[in-house]
Amino acid sequence: MANLKELCKKEDLLTGGHRLCSGCGAGAIARQVLLAADTPVVIGSATGCLEVSTTIFPYSAWKVPFIHSAFENAGATMSGVESAYRSLLKQGKLKGDIKFITFGGDGGTYDIGLQSLSGAMERGHKMLYICYNNEAYMNTGIQRSGATPLGAHTTTAPAGKVKQGKEQNRKDLTAIMVAHEIPYVAQSVVGHWNDFISKVQKALATDGPSFINVLQPCRLGWAYKPEDTMVLGRMAVETCMWPVYEVVNGEYKLSMKPKEKKPIVEFLKPQGRFKHLFKPENKGILDAMQIEVDRKWEKLLKLCGQAS
C-alpha cells in the first residue's frame, strides 16, 4: 500500500491556481497520480475539464512534460511518444526510465476516444491510461455519455414529461479493457486515496499497458455540495454502485467489500441529477437500478472467488 509519510515528502507536480471547479476531483486525481510516480513522467490528456482548466495559454499548472491531444486520439498520441522513447533508447540517444500516463474523461474514453484507446492497448504500448470518470460530457455542457448511469438527468437525456433521464444502463468499459487481456486493469474512486495511489504504483510497475477507471464526482453535473466530493466517492463504493477492484493478468481481486452494503438511494439522494427519481411514479426506475447494481455486484464477487 502507499506510504503516506513518503508521499508527503514529494514535490507537488500540479500547482495550485488552476481553473478547476471548487470541489472538483480531477485535481486530486492528477496530484495523486504524480505523487505515485517514482521516475520522470510524460503526461498526455484528451480535451476535457482537466486539460482546459490546467493549461489555459500561456499558463500551465503542470511541472512535467504535458501533451494536449484532441478529444478522440489521446491513446494514439501517447502511443507515438512511447514508441519514440523506445527508439531513442535503442539508438543510445536517451537514457533512464520514463513513464507515460494519459488522462481522458469518460466522454473521451468511453465514446469518442475508444478506438484510439483500444488500439494502444492491443498494440501493447507500455503506458498507463486513466479515465477520470464523471459520467457525462461535463466540459461541453453535461451531455450524456456511455458512462452515464440509468435515470441520470443530463442536457441530452433530460428528465421531464416525456422521459425520466437516461434510459440505458452505462457501458462497462473496465470489462472491455479486461477483454483486451492487458496485464493490469483496475477501478478506483476519489475518496479512497490509498487504494487509488497503490493501484497507480502497480500500474506504473507493469511491463505493458495498464488502465485505471476512477470515478470522480462532478459537483456541477451531479449537482451536490462541493465539500461532499470525497463523501460521494466513498458512498459509491459502500452502495456497490462503483466497486473497486483490480484484474492482474486476468485474475480478479476485490479491493474493498462493504461491511454493510447500503441501498443505492443513499448515493443518489444528495445529487440533483437524480432528484426526479424520488417522485412516487418513478419508483420503478429506482428498483431497476438497485436490481442492476445487485446483479453486477454478485457477478463481480464470483469473478473474485468470493461468496456474497
What's the confidence (pLDDT) of residue 308? 65
Tens place of pLDDT per residue across the chain (308 aa): 788 888 888 999 999 889 999 999 999 999 999 999 999 999 999 999 999 999 998 999 999 999 999 999 999 999 999 999 999 999 999 999 999 999 999 999 999 999 999 999 999 999 999 999 999 999 999 999 999 999 999 999 999 999 999 999 999 999 999 999 999 999 999 999 999 999 999 999 999 999 999 999 999 999 999 999 999 999 999 999 999 999 999 999 999 999 999 999 999 999 999 999 999 999 999 999 999 999 999 999 999 999 76
Query: Closest Cα partner for 212 from 171, 182, 167?
Result: 182
Q: What angle do CA 11, 14, 19 make, to 5 degrees?
A: 150
Half-sphere exposure in the Cβ direction for 90 (13 Å, CA): 6
Widest distance between CA atoms in the chain: 69
Cell of 120: 494502444
What's the confidence (pLDDT) of residue 219? 95
- Return the number of other C-beta atoms located less than 10 Å from residue 95's C-beta: 8
What's the confidence (pLDDT) of residue 3? 83
**Taking the domains of the chain in order of start, what are their residue ranges?**
4-303
- pTM greater than 0.85: yes
What's the confidence (pLDDT) of residue 92? 97
Sheet architecture: strand order including 184-189: 66-68, 41-45, 99-105, 128-133, 210-215, 184-189, 245-248, 251-254
Strands 184-189 and 128-133: unpaired
Rounded to whole angstroms, the Cα distance separating 14 from 216 reads 18
Rounded to whole angstroms, the Cα distance separating 137 from 221 reads 9
What's the confidence (pLDDT) of residue 197? 97
Rounded to whole angstroms, the Cα distance separating 223 from 273 reads 6
The answer to whether residues 19 and 180 touch, using CB atoms and an 8 Å cutoff, is no
The answer to whether residues 223 and 248 touch, using CB atoms and an 8 Å cutoff, is no
The answer regarding whether domain 4-303 maps to CATH 1.10.10.10 reads no
